[in-house]
Amino acid sequence: MSSLLRIGELAKQTGLSVRSLHYYDEIKLLVPSHRNQIGHRFYNDDDIIRLQQILSLRQLGFSLSEIRECLESPNYSLPKVIELHRDRLREQIGLSHTLLNRLNGIASELENTQSVAVENLIQTMETITMSKKYFTPEQQAVLNTRFREGEEEWHAILSDIQHEMSQGSDLNSPTVRMLARRWLWSMRSFVRGDGEIYESLVKMYQQEGALAADWGMDHATFDYILKAIFSMALADFTETTVPRHKIFTPEALEVIRLGEVPIRAINFHILGTEGVLLGILAEGKSAAAQVLTASGVQYDTVRPAVEKWLGTRPTPPEGTPIPAALPFAPRVKRVIELALEEAKQQKQSQITPTYFLLGILAEYKEVPPPGGVATYILREEFNVDLQALEQQLRAAILP
C-alpha cells in the first residue's frame, strides 16, 4: 500500500487549511480513504489526485457544488470542464455585446432624431438589470474573488446555522451566539469596510430568494441569523449594564482588576484573553493559578510575552477619556459565556478564576489555531499541552 498522509501534512503540502480539508470531508467532496481508531484522517494517492482535480476546478472558477457534480459525473473530463467554463465566459461576453449594441442603437437614434423609442429603452434597462442589478462590474469581480477565498468557511458557518435552525436552538444559546459572531467576522472580512457592497448584499438576500440561495443563504437562514445577531447584541448590551459582581466571584473580579494593570501600561484599552491570563497569574491563589504555575507559566515571564505580541500603543492625547473598567474584547465575551456554562454544570452561578481559564480553553477549541493571544502564548511560548491543562483544571474543581 502506498504511503498515507496525515491531514496536517496534506494541508502543509497543498497550502490549504486543515479546516478546508475538514469541510471537504463534511460535504463529501473529499473523503479520506483511511481513519485510525481515534478518527484521525489519512489520505492515499487516489485522494491526493482527487484533491488536485478539486483545486484545478477551483482555479477555473467553479463552486464547490459544481465541482462535486463534475467529479461524480461518469462523463467527467477536464476538456469538458474547460469547455463549460468557456461557455460561461461566452455568455458574459454575449451579454456585454448585447448591452453595447443596444446602447449604440440608442445613441444613433438620439443623434438622428433627438428622441429614442420607449421599447429600446426598456430592452436596454432589462439588459442592464441582468448584468448590474445589485453590483457594479468592479464590485462583482471583487466579490467573486473574495467568495472563492472564503467559500469553505462561509459554507461551514451556514451549515452550522442551518443545523441549529433544524434543531430549534434558542437564539440566546452560547452556540448560536458564537455562530452570530462568526458570521459577522466572516462578513467583515468579505465586505472589508465597503458599505455599498454590504447594502447590495443585504438587498440581494432580501429580494432575490433564488439568487441568494446560489450564494448559500435563503430567506429563512438570513432571517434566523439576523435575529441571532440582534439577540447577541442585546445580550452584550445587557451584559454591560449588569453589575460585574453578579457575574464574577470576588476572586474573579480581582483577576480582572489585576489583568487590567499591565494592559493599561501598554496603552491598550480593551481586556483580551491575555489580560485575563495575566490577572489569574497575578492573583495567584486560585486553582487555575496553581495549575499554571505547576506547568511552568508565571506572571513575570508571561507579561513580557504579552507585551511582545501586543506591542505598545502611543500614549493617548491629554484629555482622552479612559474607561474606569476596560471593556471586554469580543473573544472575552465568548469566554465569559463559556465560563458561565462551566459554572452552571457545577451548580454554580458565578465565574471563578478557574472557570475563567476553562472558558479560555473552550473558546480556543471553537476557533482554529492560533486562537486568542492567551492560548497562543501558552502553546508557543511555554509549550503547554492545552488538553492536559484542561484535565488538570477539571480535576481541581471536582468536589
pLDDT value of residue 284 = 93
Task: Tell which wins on pLDDT, 222 or 204.
Answer: 222
Would the pTM of this model clear 0.75, i.e. be above it? no
Which of 39-43, 156-160, 198-202, 388-392 is most confident? 388-392
Task: Tell which wins on pLDDT, 358 or 363.
Answer: 358
Of the pLDDT bands very low, low, confident and very high (cuts 50, 70, 90), residue 180 is confident
**Residue 117 pLDDT > 70:** no
Out of 161-170, 198-207, 283-292, 294-303, least confident range: 198-207
pLDDT value of residue 1 = 39
Q: End-to-end distance of the chain based on CA atoms, in angstroms?
A: 51
Q: How far apart are CA 238 and CA 260, in angstroms?
A: 22
Task: Tell which wins on pLDDT, 134 or 126.
Answer: 134
Q: Residues 314-323: contacts with CB within 8 Å, 24+ apart?
A: 314/267, 315/267, 316/267, 322/264, 322/269, 323/269
Per-state percent for the chain, helix, strand, coil, to nearest 5: 70, 5, 25
Q: How far apart are CA 154 and CA 181, in angstroms?
A: 13
Of the pLDDT bands very low, low, confident and very high (cuts 50, 70, 90), residue 128 is very low
All three cell numbers of 347, joined, read 451548580
Q: How far apart are CA 372 and CA 356, in angstroms?
A: 14
> Cell 438576500 belongs to which residue?
205
Burial string for 370-388 (b: 16+ CB within 10 Å, else e) reads: ebbbbbbbbbebeebeeee
Q: Which residues contact 311 (CB under 8 A, 6 or more apart)?
A: 266
**Residue 115 pLDDT > 70:** no
Q: How far apart are CA 208 and CA 360, in angstroms?
A: 40
The predicted model gives 165-180 an average pLDDT of 80
Q: How far apart are CA 256 and CA 328, in angstroms?
A: 10
**Count helices and strands in the chain by DSSP H and E runs:** 20, 3
